Structure 1
Amino acid sequence: MDIIRDFLEFELFSLGKYTLRVYTLVAVVIVFLITKILLWLIKTTMFRKQKLKSQNLGNTYALFQIIKYVIWVIAFAFLLETIGVKITVLIAGSAALLVGIGLGLQQTFNDIVS
């Protein structure tokens, strides 16, 4: 067990206060793979239901794209936090942009539903 811990805590490089270790890279790869698998499951489910209910393919695709972007933003924020970047400053700075995106998404969902 000590061998695995020593390997995961191995320092790849250091730059000022920041140190990149093997476990950081492993965490990044795991989050990336989980995100890809989650998106594949969502896509498969959505398009299977679209065929069963004979919904508009364009609406299903648009909804999947929105879900995909939201999931990737969350995964990217989690990855930044994992590698040591403080995302609270980024989120606070982008609050106005996120409000605008929310209003645009509201209109998009209204178009999809109708």
Structure 2
Amino acid sequence: MKHFLTYEIFHVKGYTLTTWNLIMCAVIILANIFIIRFISFAITKRFVRKGDAHGRRFTIIQLLKYVLWTITLVMAIEALGFNITILLASSAALLVGLGIGMQNIFKDFMSGIVILLEGSVKVNDIVQIQDDVLKVRKISWRTSEVITREDKVVIVPNHKFTEENVINWTHNTTPTRFYVEVGVDYTSDITLVEQCLLKAVEGHEDIIHTDEYLPFVRFTNFGDSALMFQLLFWSDNLFRIENTMSAVRFEIARIFKENNITIPFMQVVIHQS
């Protein structure tokens, strides 16, 4: 047994790799995997029992994995017979070169750690980056996985969340207000227009109708060919709000037709001299 454990697999310039080194390295890695799974299970069970959000649980588990795998890597290198201090010192120039060549990767990695530590963006959050509204499905070391409103899965570099202006709709403590704009003919009865617009959102399940968040109509402008109105309403259905707004527009068109209210189109008059 002793002969097996001390068996030299290879020997190069003062370094000897033995069976014992490989076994210890494997034990450290397997022990780390077991510890991560056990702690992840315990954390998940605790959070489910308390009814806490999935995003917070995921953040804690990811940070735990970062720390444990870093420690495991150092221990595994030591178990293989390498001196980690000497190894780092001798490869300093190489690490600097790698750092310059892979600075974008490191930037994304550090951004991922910042995101997880701050909790500014979590799994299942609905965020807006520029004009894109996205739902966060997964946050990993370098990238995050998001879903668009068209149900397309997009891989986003983590630095996007830390360097660009990001609106996190999930952080809103109150419902979000939206509006649908429409123009009507100048001959229209504006009181009837208001009534029809409010009727278009009656009973819609995704539109809030409490006293604090009642839909209302705003007369916004005298346009070139139409009187312009906005139908404003509040909703918690942030990710699929385009579907809600589409349903409202369908209903407006139907009710306007029933009440003979015309939505004008742009007309161009050409005068011949």
State the partner residue of 1:72. Answer: 69
Q: Is the 2:10–2:18 Cα contact (8 Å) retained in structure 1?
A: yes
State the partner residue of 2:35. Answer: 38
Q: Is the 2:9–2:18 Cα contact (8 Å) retained in structure 1?
A: yes
State the partner residue of 1:111. Answer: 119
State the partner residue of 2:20. Answer: 23
State the 1:62 CA deviation.
1.0
User: Which consecutive unaligned segments of at least 5 residues does structure 2 have?
Assistant: 96-105, 121-273
SS of 2:37's equivalent? helix
Higher relative contact order (CA 8 A, sep 6+): 1
User: Which consecutive unaligned segments of at least 5 residues does structure 1 have?
Assistant: none
State the partner residue of 2:58. Answer: 61
Q: Deviations over 1:43-62 (max 9, x none)?
A: 10010011001111011101
**Aligned with 2:49 (options 27, 49, 52):** 52
SS of 2:38's equivalent? helix
Q: Is the 2:36–2:65 Cα contact (8 Å) retained in structure 1?
A: yes
Q: Once superposed, which parts of structure 1, at least 4 consecutive aligned residues long, lie more than 3 Å away?
A: 104-112
Tell me the TM-score normalised to structure 2 length: 0.34
State the 1:5 CA deviation.
0.4
State the partner residue of 2:200. Answer: none
Q: What RMSD over aligned residues (CA atoms) do the two structures have, in Å?
A: 2.5
SS of 1:19's equivalent? strand
How many aligned residue pairs are there? Answer: 103
Tell me the TM-score normalised to structure 1 length: 0.76
State the 1:107 CA deviation.
7.5
Separation (CA, whole Å) in 2 of partners of 1:110 and 1:69: 15
SS of 2:68's equivalent? helix
State the partner residue of 1:8. Answer: 5
Paired AA for residue 30 in structure 1: V
* Higher helix fraction (1 or 2): 1
State the 1:106 CA deviation.
7.5
